[in-house]
Amino acid sequence: MCHQESQFDPNAESWAGAQGLMQLIPGTAEQFKLENLKDPEGHIQAGVKYLKWIDDYWKEQIPDSLERQKFVLASFNVGLGHIIDAVRLCDKYGGRSKIWDEHVAEFLLKKSRAEFYNDEVVKHGYCRGAEPYQYVQEIFDTYRHYLNHIKV
């Protein structure tokens, strides 16, 4: 994640105001008690707490741990509300809302189209769904790449 978020640069800043190794926005950093957004150790600790908080949200709804990782990563990237919206859309249109690939991910992509972000089940509006969709893919690709270089 740190590679994807900041290329391991503790001074990285995004166009959206996210900062540090895990690219936390100031509000999230404050929520998880990170005082110095440039402190790598504190940043990772706050980021892990945030990931745990997201994982706790999805744990009962997405029992499969590998599937849940995808929901957690996407939620970290774009916000929990947008992923909840994609799940609602998936449910409404007959998809499998506990499966990321080809189901919830597809509805997240559709949240950039008016007929979906204006749907009555959507509470968080428009979403540039391609970004979190790619984010999840790239993190899993990087993980597989790392596995080629380490013994587990």
User: Which residues are identified as catalytic?
Assistant: 5
Q: Single out the residue of 105, 68, 112, 66 nearest to residue 86, CA to CA.
A: 105
Report which DSSP code applies to 97.
Answer: T
- Supply the angle between the helices 40-59 and 65-78 in degrees, to the nearest 10: 120
Q: What CA–CA distance (Å, rounded) separates 125 from 127?
A: 7
Q: What CA–CA distance (Å, rounded) separates 111 from 94?
A: 16
